Amino acid sequence: MLRCLSRESSAVRWSLSKYVNPPLPWLFMGLGNPGDKFKGTRHNVSFEMIDALADSLGISLNNVHCKALFAQGFIGNVPIFLAKPQTYMNLCGTSTGPLAAYYKLPLNRVMVMAFRGRGRGRGFGGSDFKFVKPESFVLFPVSI
């Protein structure tokens, strides 16, 4: 009898764990440059990716939070945050870091999408991430 109760209690504990320990959210940051001058340029392809993701989920980036256009939603049961910093790319860390800190996200739950230039061996780094260390989060390079 005791063994049976033990199994039942562990089954109840297991089924409740999805409510007690909800999945960790993801923060998707699309980097680009704000303003009409840069709209539709290759540097803002990550902004367009965030917009497409938001459209597919039926949410809109109509809030401003930590210097970024911001939205919240779900993919399945996983909470997600979408953000488009409204600083220039070389200052993206002034938005990325504070958003991750505000939601207490480990940096491995932050996906940064950024245009990766071609030619001359250009990659990420230098002034692209002035206030953020690219090795500390998930970097999703976008080439066109």
Q: Is 138:111 a contact under the CB 8 Å cutoff?
A: yes
Rounded Cα gap, residues 139 and 110, in angstroms: 8
What are the φ/ψ torsions at residue 72 (nearest 5 degrees)? -125, 145
Closest CA to 42 of 57, 58, 31, 54: 31
For residue 43, indicate whether it is catalytic: yes
Catalytic residue among 42, 43, 65, 116: 43
* Strand ranges inside the chain, DSSP E: 26-30, 63-65, 68-75, 78-85, 110-115, 138-142
Would you name the residues annotated as active-site residues?
43
